[in-house]
Copies of this chain bind each other. A is one copy, B any other.
C-alpha cells in the first residue's frame, strides 16, 4: 500500500510534467510559425490570416516580444471569457454541450467532496480498525491512505450507518444534478434547432429497403410510392448510387497527386537531379524509375478509368442502391414521414430523418434487413470476445512487469531472462508498448465494428463506438484493475465465482485500489490532458507537410489538422472518472479532490481547444446527451452495488435491503428521464416544424425549395468542382481522419455566409 508520501511524490511528478507541457504549450503557441497548429479554427473561419508582419525575417517564425512570455498563462482567462451563447455560435452546440459534461462533473463532485470530507473522513479516521487489524494479521498491509477510508471502520460497526446515509445523499444529489442538466441541455437543443437556418436535412427523409419492383426503376418506384402516400407533401427525391469503387479511385488519385507534388517540389529545389522512386510498395523497393513521369502517367491512367467508372455508375441501373433521400414541401411533411410507418412490412420502406449531408455514411445505405440483423448479432459476439478476452492480456501484461512471476510461469526461460539487458527491456518497455499499441488501434477496431453493424450516419457510428469503448473501459480498466490487479490467480477464481459474489469481490478490493486509481487519475487525467493542449503530433505533422508538400497558401490550409473532439474516445474516458468518483465517494473520499482537479483542468483545456483548435465534422445538436446521462447512471449503479458488496463483507448484511433500494430508484430515475426527455433527442415535434414552416412561408413566400434541395444529397464524388484535388473519402480503415470537402465548404462560404450551422460546425481539411 502506498503511503501518503508516495502519493505526494507521484502528485508532484505528474503536476510537474503537466506544468512542463503547459509551459511548452505557452511558448510554442506564441511563435507565428505554429499559429496554424494552435489556432486553426480561426483560419478555417477566415478570421485569421497567415501573419505577414513586416520587419526582420526571423519574426515570421519566432516571437521576439518577450513581454508576451511573461504572461504565458493568459490563455486561461481567454478560454473562460467567451460566453456560452457565443461559444455555441462559434463552435456548435455539440462542442458547447461537450464541455458542459466537465462542468457537470464539478457540479456533482464538489458538493459530494465537501460533504464526504466533513462527515466520512472523521468517521473513518476515528474508526481505528487499523490498530485492530495490524495487531491481529500480518499479511494485510495498511497504508496511511486507508486510515481515511472505510477500511479503517471495524466490521459490523455502527459507524457504517454514516456510509449508508451518505450513499443515499450522494445518489439523490447526483440524480438531482443530472435531472437539472438534462433539462438545460434539452432546452439548449430545442432552442438551437428552433433558431437554425434552413438546412436540407430538415426537409429530407432517408428511405431504406425500397422493395424491388420488376416493372419500375428504383427512382420511379420511390416517386410513385410517395406521390400516392404523401400526396400533399412529397416534393422530390434523390436516388443513391453505389459509388464506393469510384470514391476509392478518387482517393487513390489524390494520394498520387500528393506524391507528385512532393517530387515536383524536390525537383524545383534541386533542378539538376530528376527525383526517382521505386515501383514497389510505398516506393521502398522494386525498379528505380523517374518519379515525376511515373506519377504523371499513373494519374492520367487513373483519370481515364475514373471517367469510365463515373459513366458506368450513372448509366447502370444496378449501381442504384434500394435507398433514397426523399424531400418534402415542408418540415411538417418530413417530420410526419420520418416518424410513421409506411407499409405493412416493417422491414421495407424504412423511413428516418436524413442525416445532414456531411454526416451521411454512404457505404451502409444498401444493407437489407435480415443481413443487418445477422451483422449485429455477429458484432455483438465479437464485442463480447474483444471485451472479455482482452482481460487476459491485461492481466498477463501486469504479471509480465514482474520478473519473478515470469520465471515461475516459464521456468525454462530463466537463464535468458536473468541477462541484465533483456531483463530491463522486458521490465521496462515491452508490456507497456504492447498494451499502448493495442489501446491506440482499439478505437479504430471499434469504429470498424460499428461500420459493419450498418449505421448510416457518422454521428451514429461515433455514438455506437463510444458505447463499445465505454463497455471496454468499464470491464478492462475498472474491473480489470480491481480484480486482476491484485493477482492473476484471482482472475480464474473470479470467473468460477457466482454473479452474486462479484459485488463482494469487487467491494473488498475497492478500498485497496484507491492509491492505484489516484495515480491513474494523475497520469491519465492530469498529464494526459496537458499533453492534449500541446498537440505534439499535429505540430510535427504540420511542419513536415509544410516542408515537403506545401506550395501555395491553399496547400498550407490543407496541411492544417484542426482535429476534432474524438467523441468515441474522450467521452468514455471521461465516464471512467465519473465512475471512479461515485464509487470512491463513500469508500475513500480522499480520491475526490483528484477527480475534481481533473474535471476543472479538462474543462479549461477543452474550452480552449474548442475555441481555438477543433473543427467538428458534423453538428448533431447534442444528440449524445441521453448516452451521457445513461452512462453516469450506470456508474452510479455500479457504485451502489460495490458499496453493497463491501458492506456485506463487513458483517453488515442487514444493510443489504437498504442499499438494494438505491439501484431500483436509480433505474426508475433512468426510465423517468428517458420518458421525460429522450424524445426531444430522437424526434422532431410537429408543432415546432409547423412554426418554422409558417415563419418561412411568411418571410420567403417565393422560395424555390426544389432547386434548393436538388443537389443536397448527391454522393460527394458526383459534386461538381474540384473533384480531382479534394474529395470525400470514407475509408473503412481510416478511422479518425475522415473528410476533405472543399467543394461543400466553398459552397457554404458563398451560400450561407452569416454563421449558418453548416459553416459553424465546419469541415475537416486534411
Contact = CB atoms under 8 A, between A and B. Distances in A.
A497 B343 CA distance: 50
A655 interface: no
Given A232-B232, A377-B668, A690-B228, A685 B344 contact: yes
A343 B676 contact: no
A52 interface: no
Nearest to A496: B500
A136 interface: no
A696 to B, nearest CB: 16
B690 A229 contact: yes
3 A-B pairs closest in CB distance: A498-B498, A498-B500, A346-B679
Given A336-B336, A341-B679, 12 more contacts: A228-B687, A232-B232, A335-B340, A339-B340, A340-B683, A341-B683, A341-B686, A343-B687, A369-B675, A373-B671, A497-B498, A498-B499
A686 B190 contact: no
A99 B580 CA distance: 55
Contacts of A710: none
A191 to B, nearest CB: 10
Given A339-B339, A498-B500, A190 B344 contact: yes
Nearest to A336: B336
A368 to B, nearest CB: 12
Stoichiometry, copies per complex: 2
Contact of A680 (B346, B373, B668): B346
Nearest to A338: B340
Given A499-B500, A686-B341, A346 B668 contact: no
A498 B685 CA distance: 47
Contact of A675 (B335, B373, B672): B373
Nearest to A504: B498
A142 interface: no
A676 B190 contact: no
A342 B675 contact: no
A335 B342 CA distance: 10
A688 interface: yes
Interface in A249-306: none
B687 A344 contact: yes
A36 to B, nearest CB: 41
Interface string A201-234: 0000000000000000000000001001110100
A685 B342 contact: yes
Interface string A668-704: 1001100111111001111110100000000000000
A676 B209 CA distance: 13
A416 to B, nearest CB: 36
Contacts of A141: none
6 contacts: A340-B683, A341-B679, A344-B688, A346-B676, A498-B499, A500-B500
Contacts of A686: 229-230, 340-343
Given A336-B336, A675-B373, A343 B685 contact: yes
Contacts of A679: 341, 346
**Which of A335, A340, A499 is packed against the most chain B CB atoms within 10 Å?**
A340
A525 to B, nearest CB: 35
Contacts of A501: 498
A347 interface: yes
A187 to B, nearest CB: 9
Q: Please classify the interface of chain A as helix (H, G, I), strand (E, B), loop, or mixed, using the class held by over half of its residues.
A: helix
Interface in A366-405: 369, 373, 377, 381
Interface string A57-93: 0000000000000000000000000000000000000
A505 to B, nearest CB: 12
A688 B373 CA distance: 26
Nearest to A498: B498
Given A346-B675, A499-B498, A687-B229, A340 B341 contact: no
A287 to B, nearest CB: 53
Given A229-B686, A229-B687, A498-B500, A677 B344 contact: no
**Which of A232, A339, A678, A685 is packed against the most chain B CB atoms within 10 Å?**
A685
A677 B346 CA distance: 7
A611 B87 CA distance: 70
Contacts of A497: 498
A660 to B, nearest CB: 11
B672 A373 contact: yes
A683 to B, nearest CB: 5
Interface string A557-572: 0000000000000000
Contacts of A381: 664
Contacts of A685: 340-344
Interface string A335-357: 11001111110110100000000
Interface in A472-509: 497-501
Contacts of A230: 686
A671 B339 CA distance: 21
Contact of A687 (B335, B342, B498, B675): B342
Contacts of A684: 341
Interface in A287-341: 335-336, 339-341
Contacts of A369: 675-676
Contacts of A687: 225, 228-229, 342-344, 349
A501 B499 CA distance: 9
A347 B679 CA distance: 10
A678 B346 CA distance: 8
A671 to B, nearest CB: 7
Contacts of A499: 498-500
Nearest to A333: B336
A232 B676 CA distance: 29
Nearest to A190: B344
Contacts of A225: 687
Nearest to A346: B679
B344 A341 contact: no
Contacts of A340: 335-336, 339-340, 683, 685-686
A494 to B, nearest CB: 12
Contacts of A349: 687
Contacts of A677: 346
A679 B373 CA distance: 16
Contacts of A341: 339, 679, 683-686
A678 B339 CA distance: 16
Contacts of A344: 190, 680, 685, 687-688
A584 B675 CA distance: 41
A68 B671 CA distance: 62
A347 B498 contact: no
A668 B668 CA distance: 26
A550 B680 CA distance: 59
A686 B340 CA distance: 7
Nearest to A373: B672
Nearest to A678: B346
A747 B676 CA distance: 41
A453 to B, nearest CB: 13
A347 B675 contact: yes
A99 to B, nearest CB: 24
A612 to B, nearest CB: 34
